[in-house]
Amino acid sequence: MHDSIAYSANITKGSLKLRESRIVAGLLMDKVSDAEWKDAIENQNVLQARSAATATSMAGYIRSRLEYFDRDLWKMVRDGDRTLASQSLLVCAMKHSALLRDFMDLNLRDEYRKFRPTLATSVWTEYLEGCRSRDPDMPEWFETTKNRLRSTVFQILAQAGYLSDTSARELKTVTILPELISYLHRKGENQLIRCLQLP
C-alpha cells in the first residue's frame, strides 16, 4: 500500500491526451522559458484548444503529470510509438493520481485474477467505497463527480490498452514495453511496475 494516501478528484481534468502530451513533452525537452511557454500555448495555440484559458489549463495539467519524471521519459512520450507513449503517460497519470494507481493495483488486478471478461461499473463503485478505509479524509463526492472519475479512469485504461473500449470494456492482456520497465527500474519505481503488470 501507499504511505500518506490522499485521494482527490484531480484526475477528472483529463485522460492520457496523447497528442497534446507529445507537444508538451517537446516543450519541456526544449527547456523553453516562461515567455516561450506562454507564447506557444496561448498565442500559437499549439494544443489547438478552443480558448487561451482552456489551453493554459490543459497544458498546466499535462505538465504537472510529466514533471514527476525527466527527459528520458519525456522522450518516450514525444518520440515513442503510440504504445510506448501511451504506457509512459499512464505511468505519469498513476504517479499523479493515487485514485487511479490504487484502482489498478487493487481492484483491477483482482478482476484479472478472477478471469473476468469485462470490467463492470460496480467494480469502480466498490473501489470508491473501500477508499475511505485507506484515506479517512477523502472528500464526500457528489454522484456526478464519482461518475466523472469512473469515466476518466475507464477512458485512461482503454487508451492504455487494458480495456477494449469504454463501452464493452473487455479486459485485455497488456505487455509493458521493456524500455519503459527498464526506465522505471532505474528510477526505483517498483510499485508503478507492479501496478502496470496485471494480474
What's the pTM value of the predicted model, to 2 decimals? Answer: 0.95
| Domain range summary for the chain, segments of one domain joined by + | 15-80, 92-196
Query: pLDDT, tens digit, for every residue of 8-60?
Result: 999 998 899 999 999 999 999 999 999 999 999 999 999 999 999 999 999 99
pLDDT of 3 = 45
pLDDT of 104 = 97
Q: Which CATH code for domain 92-196?
A: 1.10.3540.10
Predicted confidence pLDDT, tens digits, the chain (199 residues): 344 568 999 999 889 999 999 999 999 999 999 999 999 999 999 999 999 999 999 999 999 999 999 999 999 999 999 999 999 999 999 999 999 999 999 999 999 999 999 999 999 999 999 999 999 999 999 999 999 999 999 999 999 999 999 999 999 999 999 999 999 999 999 999 999 999 8
Of 199, 192, 196, 195, nearest to 69 by C-alpha is 192
